[in-house]
Structure 1
Amino acid sequence: MNLATLWRWRGALMATGVGVLAAILRLASLSQPHALVFDEVFYARGAFSLTELGYEGKWTGDDSLFATGDTSGLTAQGDFVVHPMVGKLLIALGIELFGNSPFGWRAVGAVLGSLLAVLIALAARRLFRSTLWGGVAGVLVAVDGEAIVLSRTALLDGFLAFFVGLGFWLLVVDRDRTRVRLETGAAEERTMLGLADDAPLPGIGPLTGIRWWRLGAILAFSLAGSVKWNGFYFAAVLLVLSVVWDAVARRELGATRWFTGTLASAFPAGLATVVIAPVVYVGTWANWFLTNGSYDRHWAESHPGEGVTWLPDALNSLIHYHQQMWVFHTGLTTPHNYMSNPWLWLVQWRPTAFYFEDVPDADCGAARCVSAIHALGNPLIWWLATAALAWALWRVIRRGDVLALSVSAGVLAGWLPWLPYAYRTIFTFYSVAFMPFMILTLVWAMRRVAQPDRLEGGWSRGGTIAVGCAVAAILVVSGFFIPLWVGTPIPFRYWQTHMWLPSWI
């Protein structure tokens, strides 16, 4: 294969490399630890009951027995669960494919977590018009601690991050394809009207037809919201971002009524969203509708005249169930050792310890060996990305920088909605849902340092060295923290060297 061929395939080679790196970090020793890690006690067991009963049954007895293969604690009584179905259905898929084992619970999440790194690499490649910067973004997702831990445990937030990342990538592809359509259409209209290439274009600009990629994004965001409700915040913000992209494109192409044209394009997308999202969401509850044992499945029949009585009993029961879920979420204030204030999530102030056990039989070269899993993002990634976010928001406010808005909007969509709920029992690892956008914002800043505007695409020697050193340091830190992300038995004193801040202990 010659250099010309390699250059032609550079995008595919970059994505493949990112995917392989991410898969190695997520799939290696995935069955360890052979125990329920943190909230796997809810989601892995709930997924298993879906495979056995068709709905989530209540469990009794010792929680730890499940990891040994003892499922005798499963009862036929429907369990009150407080999150939608999609994440648990995906965990159940892994159990069906690979058996009721730690690998089975975690396999689908690990695969989708690997694909997320690829999706972000491809999205970054389009945003920054650079395979190199796309590769940097993908590698940073691949080696981030939160991304690794949430891909390797059967929790819901990793699935949420995947569908949000998928939706964003689809929107970026839609943006680029729509831009090509608009440019082609604008050129044709100017030719037909006998206008110069740079002359204002009368009217709203060209029509773009059915935008299948944006419809795909709406579907992806609907699935995100069907994993956890906060997925719908991403849908609202990022779909509005796609409208902003349209407005900028029409204005730059010289359409005199660009605002009207943008609204005309946004209306069908908005209509599609209000139809597709509820249909997909309710559809993901199919197993709840089709089984009699599901929690509150027949509430309406046993409470005539209550609830939304004009709806069919099944939907009335589902709405009542969701009202209970909402009360649970907004009222959850039970103290927890690792609950954290969302104002401090960006700097990973209080990461969640998912697992910590002494391993007396391990040969780690010390008198005391431990296995630990901390949902801690790579500190350098998050600290540098927090600074980059401040810079990006300044650029948006002062300069109207659309690219800065494009990379940072997902952070705001995933982070700001949590701030009013700082009183609740919530955890730093929820930030994995907007982790890809933190990394995109960091790469945006790195690109501006290495390739400042004044050089018009050229490279600053000092800036390039600084960015190269930052990326190298990030990779070194990831290598240092890997044992705490995958649960490798290590000396207790070595674990202590990772506790950089008192709040991490």
Structure 2
Amino acid sequence: MSRPEANFDAMVGAPGAKSASPDGDELPGTRLDLWWGRLLALPGAQRIWYWGGPIAVTLLAAVLRLVRLGDPRSLVFDETFYVKDAWTLLNLGYEASWPDNADKPFTAGNVDIFTTNGSYVAHPPLGKWMIALGLRVFGAQDTIGWRISTAIVGILAVFLLVIIARALFNSTLLATIAGGLFAIDGHAIVMSRTALLDNFVMIFTLLGFGAIMLDRAKSAGRLSLWLSRRAEAGRDIDWGPALWWRPWLLTAGILFGAATAVKWSGLYFLAAFAVYSLVVDACARRTAGIPFWLSGTIFKQGPVTFLLTIPLAIATYLASWTGWFVTREGYYRNWAEVPGNAATGFFTWVPHSVQSFLHYQASVYDFNVNEHTAHPYSANPLSWLFLLRPTAFYYVGQVQGQSGCSFSSCAQYVTSIANPILWWAATAALFFLVYRLVRYREWRVGLILMGTVAGYLPWLLYSDRTIFQFYAIVFEPYLILGLVFVIGLIIGSRRDARSRRTRGIGVVAVFLLLVVFVSAFFYPVWTGMQVPEIFARLHYWLPGWR
């Protein structure tokens, strides 16, 4: 029995693709296929569609993320840490402490009440430097300035996902669906309208994912070229080559290092995709007929892959701490200079600044691993895929006549819940992809699943600490890619029987319309619009959503 390959080349978006019945008779596809083919046959239409679809969903993402970006006009959830940290980074070069109860005066515009004492922070500085860019342009008094950086990143992530999806599936249609789903999902919208760090981890890891995808194709070509040259020269190919010139792998190392410089969870992507690249190399060597393909991967390519990724990632991480190193007042900056703290013996040669830095990193690791503070919205990662406990970021209730409320009671509510129909469908697709990988070993499926593994599975090791559903934004792009892979299978191609093709298109169309409707229904509680209290309660579908 031959294994079915996912064929995305002859979809609705591919005009002129001929299909044939088993008897050799040409099948015209559905009426939609014929109409679409004629439309794209018009002069310039294919180029317009090639860029028009991606640009359209990106513009949609921009509207949903930028309109009323300044609302709510108060620090939301952990914005109280990251916005103020970003402001002190911009002014001092390091995160400084604030007086007690500083949120109210800060929101009112009194933004320069910070001290010069270093503040203990649990995450590296890069994400806060990115928030600081918005503060630099708009000022810390403007709530748009707090959030504009995360909004821009969220918009760019939609376009990036379209580009990656098109490279994966060779279909502008599927790529546009992927970008459209990411554009209208509530989890992505809320994380793009709130000045938290996780959107920055998401964009850097998604860029790194794209770099790994490009490296996979380029390294296969270089391996083929090496083999042909060895064959022409009559030389042995026992272990295969050590491929050094892999610019996309170098790029991935930098990008995953940048993700780690926002939050340490980026480190899991670095580790996962370093291993992934070696597995892909081993498979390519085996397919090429290299006798010692496994040992050649481990002992020849393995050290090279390490040198191409890890040092650059470390350098990128350290570079994000430049402000801490070049100033003197950052937290623990002078720790090693306190009598009794500095290393003795062999390690006395290590500069005090480096010793202080390593002590700080160890302290932060201990804090993050042992963070068990009770929180009403803490969510076990086992529940994330089923959307059992999304995080409510903001809630203010009003009575009639208060703040323009014209009902008996109103609410301004921001919840980071994803579009539940989209999320549950993506979860179902994820489990199907696991089966598909085991059954057919398709490279697209393996790559998509590796993104999910890197972003999700490590959290299961820390399920007893305080963690939140919104961390899932980091692997949401790969959930959507997995869902779109399944959508492509359901739609089928022009080579399928007309009845099967028609049913597939119909099922997908109904699903997409349902997702759009649910997003429209949830949009007010994703963006903090004032709504009747009863309307807000209509969004509590499960007990954990309150």
**Above 0.5 in TM-score?**
yes
Is 2:173 the partner of 1:132? yes
Is 2:251 the partner of 1:212? no
Is 2:270 the partner of 1:235? yes
Match of 2:77 among 10, 13, 38: 38
Kept in 1: contact 2:241–2:301 (CA 8 A): no
Kept in 2: contact 1:164–1:234 (CA 8 A): yes
Q: Which moved more, 1:399-408 or 1:206-215?
A: 206-215
Kept in 2: contact 1:362–1:369 (CA 8 A): no
Is 2:377 the partner of 1:341? no
Kept in 2: contact 1:150–1:157 (CA 8 A): yes
Provide closer, same or farther for how the CA distance between residues 202 and 274 of structure 1 changes in structure 2, counting only shifts above 3 A. closer
Aligned residue number for residue 331 of structure 1: 370
Q: Distance in 2 between matches of 1:260 and 1:480?
A: 56
Q: Distance in 1 between matches of 2:535 and 2:146?
A: 29
Cα deviation, 1:285-343, whole Å, max 9, x if unaligned, reads 01011111111100000144545644210010011111211121122111111111111
Q: Distance in 1 between matches of 2:518 and 2:196?
A: 25
Q: Distance in 2 between matches of 1:59 and 1:275?
A: 36
Aligned residue number for residue 491 of structure 2: 450
Q: Which amino acid aligns with 1:13?
A: G
Kept in 1: contact 2:255–2:313 (CA 8 A): no
Q: Which amino acid aligns with 1:25?
A: L
CA offset at residue 432 of structure 1? Answer: 0.8
Q: Which amino acid aligns with 1:238?
A: F
Aligned residue number for residue 64 of structure 1: 104
Is 2:146 the partner of 1:110? no
Match of 1:96 among 136, 161, 172: 136
What's the secondary structure of 1:108's corresponding residue? helix
Match of 2:323 among 284, 287, 305: 287
Q: Which amino acid aligns with 2:303?
A: F
Provide closer, same or farther for how the CA distance between residues 335 and 457 of structure 1 changes in structure 2, counting only shifts above 3 A. farther
CA offset at residue 96 of structure 1? Answer: 0.7
Provide closer, same or farther for how the CA distance between residues 502 and 462 of structure 1 changes in structure 2, counting only shifts above 3 A. same
Q: Distance in 2 between matches of 1:134 and 1:266?
A: 33
Kept in 2: contact 1:415–1:431 (CA 8 A): yes
Kept in 2: contact 1:77–1:293 (CA 8 A): yes
Cα deviation, 1:180-214, whole Å, max 9, x if unaligned, reads 44556666777x479xxxxxx95566876522122
CA offset at residue 250 of structure 1? Answer: 4.3
Aligned residue number for residue 297 of structure 1: 333
Kept in 1: contact 2:274–2:309 (CA 8 A): no
Aligned residue number for residue 411 of structure 1: 452
Cα deviation, 1:19-44, whole Å, max 9, x if unaligned, reads 21211111111111111010000000
**Runs of at least 5 residues in structure 2 that lack an aligned partner in the other structure:** 1-39
Q: Distance in 1 between matches of 2:327 and 2:233?
A: 63
Q: Which moved more, 1:156-165 or 1:353-362?
A: 353-362
Cα deviation, 1:371-409, whole Å, max 9, x if unaligned, reads 111011111121111111111112223433332221111
Q: Which amino acid aligns with 1:482?
A: Y
Aligned residue number for residue 152 of structure 1: 193
Aligned residue number for residue 124 of structure 2: 84
Aligned residue number for residue 501 of structure 1: 542
Kept in 2: contact 1:61–1:73 (CA 8 A): no
Provide closer, same or farther for how the CA distance between residues 467 and 231 of structure 1 changes in structure 2, counting only shifts above 3 A. same
What's the secondary structure of 1:369's corresponding residue? strand
Kept in 1: contact 2:208–2:256 (CA 8 A): yes
Q: Distance in 2 between matches of 1:127 and 1:245?
A: 16
What's the secondary structure of 1:75's corresponding residue? coil
Cα deviation, 1:94-115, whole Å, max 9, x if unaligned, reads 1011211211111111111111
**Runs of at least 5 residues in structure 1 that lack an aligned partner in the other structure:** 195-200
Q: Which amino acid aligns with 1:236?
A: A
Aligned residue number for residue 515 of structure 2: 474
Provide closer, same or farther for how the CA distance between residues 320 and 436 of structure 1 changes in structure 2, counting only shifts above 3 A. same
Cα deviation, 1:39-71, whole Å, max 9, x if unaligned, reads 000000110111222211111132222111112
Alignment of 1:301-380 (within 5 A): 301-304=337-340, 306-307=342-343, 309-359=348-398, 361-363=402-404, 365-380=406-421
Kept in 1: contact 2:150–2:193 (CA 8 A): yes
Aligned residue number for residue 46 of structure 2: 7
CA offset at residue 476 of structure 1? Answer: 1.3
Is 2:437 the partner of 1:401? no
Match of 2:425 among 364, 377, 384: 384
Provide closer, same or farther for how the CA distance between residues 133 and 258 of structure 1 changes in structure 2, counting only shifts above 3 A. farther
Match of 2:312 among 276, 279, 288: 276
Q: Which amino acid aligns with 1:24?
A: V
Is 2:462 the partner of 1:421? yes
Q: Distance in 1 between matches of 2:296 and 2:497?
A: 31
Provide closer, same or farther for how the CA distance between residues 184 and 361 of structure 1 changes in structure 2, counting only shifts above 3 A. farther
Match of 1:167 among 200, 208, 229: 208
What's the secondary structure of 2:68's corresponding residue? coil
Q: Distance in 1 between matches of 2:135 and 2:81?
A: 15
Aligned residue number for residue 245 of structure 1: 280
CA offset at residue 258 of structure 1? Answer: 4.5
Q: Distance in 1 between matches of 2:524 and 2:243?
A: 50
- TM-score, structure 1 length as denominator? 0.91
Kept in 2: contact 1:350–1:504 (CA 8 A): yes
Provide closer, same or farther for how the CA distance between residues 92 and 369 of structure 1 changes in structure 2, counting only shifts above 3 A. same
Provide closer, same or farther for how the CA distance between residues 247 and 19 of structure 1 changes in structure 2, counting only shifts above 3 A. farther
Provide closer, same or farther for how the CA distance between residues 168 and 326 of structure 1 changes in structure 2, counting only shifts above 3 A. same
Q: Distance in 1 between matches of 2:282 and 2:44?
A: 37
Q: Which amino acid aligns with 2:321?
A: W
Provide closer, same or farther for how the CA distance between residues 70 and 493 of structure 1 changes in structure 2, counting only shifts above 3 A. same
Q: Which amino acid aligns with 2:323?
A: N
Provide closer, same or farther for how the CA distance between residues 406 and 459 of structure 1 changes in structure 2, counting only shifts above 3 A. farther
What's the secondary structure of 2:115's corresponding residue? strand
What's the secondary structure of 1:155's corresponding residue? coil
Provide closer, same or farther for how the CA distance between residues 91 and 396 of structure 1 changes in structure 2, counting only shifts above 3 A. same
Q: Which moved more, 1:149-158 or 1:470-479?
A: 470-479
Alignment of 1:459-470 (within 5 A): 460-470=501-511
Q: Which moved more, 1:58-67 or 1:251-260?
A: 251-260
Kept in 1: contact 2:253–2:310 (CA 8 A): no
Q: Distance in 2 between matches of 1:46 and 1:207?
A: 44
Q: Distance in 1 between matches of 2:337 and 2:125?
A: 23
Aligned residue number for residue 197 of structure 1: none
Kept in 2: contact 1:167–1:216 (CA 8 A): yes
Kept in 1: contact 2:227–2:237 (CA 8 A): no
Q: Which amino acid aligns with 1:98?
A: F
Aligned residue number for residue 17 of structure 2: none
Q: Which amino acid aligns with 1:228?
A: K
CA offset at residue 492 of structure 1? Answer: 1.1
Provide closer, same or farther for how the CA distance between residues 262 and 319 of structure 1 changes in structure 2, counting only shifts above 3 A. same
Q: Which moved more, 1:354-363 or 1:108-117?
A: 354-363
- TM-score, structure 2 length as denominator? 0.85
Q: Distance in 2 between matches of 1:452 and 1:252?
A: 29
How high is the sequence identity, in percent, across the aligned residues? 38
Kept in 2: contact 1:452–1:459 (CA 8 A): no
